[in-house]
């Protein structure tokens, strides 16, 4: 068993747009949030192995 301690986890956000236009208002279609941070990424990688 491997234990990863993550004292300050982060939240990774993915934002989807139909089109991006520089200098104008861009509206998002969808926003997804996932757990992130070094400890979480290590734990996810070890789980896949």
Mean pLDDT by 10 residues, the chain (49 residues): 83 93 94 89 88
Asked if 11 contacts 45 with a C-beta cutoff of 8 angstroms, the reply is no
> Other CB atoms closer than 10 Å to residue 5's CB: what's the count?
6
Asked if 36 contacts 10 with a C-beta cutoff of 8 angstroms, the reply is yes
Residues 13, 17: Cα–Cα separation, whole Å: 13
CA distances from 6 to 13, 35, 36, 40, 46 (A): 18, 11, 10, 7, 14
Asked if 16 contacts 3 with a C-beta cutoff of 8 angstroms, the reply is no
Delimit the domains of the chain by residue range: 10-48
Predicted TM-score (pTM) of the model is 0.57
């Amino acid at each position: 068993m491997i234990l990863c301690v993550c004292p300050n986890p982060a939240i990774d956000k993915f934002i989807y747009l139909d089109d991006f236009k520089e200098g104008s208002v861009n509206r998002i279609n969808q926003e997804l949030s996932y757990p992130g941070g070094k400890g979480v990424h290590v734990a996810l990688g070890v789980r896949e192995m």
